[in-house]
Amino acid sequence: MQTKQAVHTQQAPQPSGTYSQAIKVGNTVYLAGQIPTHPQTNEMAKGIEAQVEQVFKNLAAVAEAAGGNLSNIVKLNIFLKDLKDFPVVNSTMEKFFTQPYPARSTIGVAALPKDSAVEIEGIMVI
């Protein structure tokens, strides 16, 4: 088995529990779920579009710390408190990704940490 390496950056929110921002094994990076808090202030972004944008900025910071970028993400798992926000996720993703887009799943959930409207995790290959 290849060695696991924790990835950490101050440019994304700090873990609030017993997990790493990402784990790198070989050329695969497993990005922990990010919520829309600003890393410097720990304040939650306001409004669904701003929340989705902040989540992608947080994911980008962790991806960069792991030696890649958002274009290296091959799979996203998106968790939404309201599936009616799905079109906002699509339009916001177009600001951060180009084709071919990552594979993804979008799941409606009852609650997320800090009452966030969205959380996104991913898998990246670099």
Number of domains in the chain: 1
- Answer whether 23's CB lies under 8 Å from 4's CB: yes
Domain with 34 in it: what CATH number? Answer: 3.30.1330.40
Instruction: Please provide the average confidence, as pLDDT, over all residues in the chain.
Output: 97
Residue with the two structure tokens 């799941």:
107
At residue 7, the pLDDT reads 98
pTM of the model: 0.96
The string of pLDDT tens digits covering residues 56-115 is 999 999 999 999 999 999 999 999 999 999 999 999 999 999 999 999 999 999 999 999
* Parent domain of 54: 4-125
